[in-house]
Amino acid sequence: MRTSDSVGTAVQALRMLPCSGCGEWARARYPIVFAGTLALAAGCRRTIEHTPSEDTRAEALTTAPVTIERDVPSSAPATELGSASPHATGLSDDFSGSKLDASWSVLFGETSKIALEGGALQLTPRSNTVWFHADRSVLVHKRVTGDFMVTSGVRARKASQRDRPVDVGYQFGGLIARSPGSDEPGAKENHVFVVVGYRGEFLSVETKTTQAGHSQVEGPKWPSSDAVLRICRVGSELHLYKRAIGASVWEKAASHTRPDLPRTLQVGPIAYAFHHAADLRASFDEVTFGVPHSAADCAR
């Protein structure tokens, strides 16, 4: 790419930023604009689309012997939940074992360390990873067909001080529902997610819908770096919910109408740390799956 093209792309990206305080994203993505020099275009610019070495991939997964899929469709069979109970199916996992169950698949595992510890799934993403537009981070998923409801208690804590909330950059953990077609060659990213963590200046439960590679974000304040999160699909509607850990009343975070998404989706935990010095350990107490018989079940 010519230097002039790179600067033009960067300026266009800055105009499309979906949130205030996203300068750090643009600085990492397009440093030639922020540094005020064209010299960086010669090779100093760092992006997160690089193809990692096999050694890097192996290091990322030393704590969890799972299958890595990279930029190819998942071959794992999809599960049709059918008439299962709204609050329990065989897909659920309390992570009580010593290693990740083989029913899970992992995408982009080189972007995160993955472990099971203390009855929880732990994701520790690397620096400058993000789910935004075409960019991706770690995803631990199962393929689910039809209407579903997925729920998890998520804690976004510092990796360096696990009793402290994350407090810098854009660092989140949560749940995603993603089109497997996003992995096809030349395809664009399509997903919906809800995450909890730190959003530039404050703690937040953030929701995001990405269609054809364009992300729209909402990130209101939340009083904690912990939350119980839920994605509930009923037809073409995806309802995103949040509640405090230990609470019983759900609060709707967002709803999105996505008739473009296929019946079978990749569903499960994600984490990302968009900061040059990542310090996030996203902990998932359990992930439970169910099927809603109506939209009213989503908040039960």
Using CA atoms in the order 181, 197, 150, 60, what is the torsion angle rounded to 10 degrees? 60
The mean per-residue pLDDT over the stretch 111-127 comes to 97
pLDDT of 193 reads: 98
Domain spans, the chain = 1-47, 54-299
Residue 45 has pLDDT above 60, yes or no: no
pTM of the model: 0.76
Write out pLDDT tens, residues 188-243: 999 999 999 999 999 999 999 999 999 999 999 999 999 999 999 999 999 999 99
Sheet with 120-125, strands from edge to edge, namely 112-117, 120-125, 281-290, 148-157, 226-234, 237-243, 251-257
Q: Are 60 and 111 in contact (CB under 8 A)?
A: yes
Q: Which tens digit of pLDDT belongs to each residue from 147-193?
A: 999 999 999 999 999 999 999 999 999 999 999 999 999 999 999 99
pLDDT at 26 over 70: no
Structure tokens at 87: 């609050």
Q: Is the domain defined by 54-299 classed in CATH 3.40.50.2000?
A: no
Nearest one of 186, 76, 164, 171 to 130, comparing CA atoms: 171
What's the CA angle centered on 180, arms 259 and 109, to 5 degrees? 135
Where does the pLDDT of residue 36 fall: very low under 50, low under 70, confident under 90, or very high at 90 and above? very low
Q: How far apart (Å, rounded) are the C-alpha atoms in residues 78 and 71?
A: 18
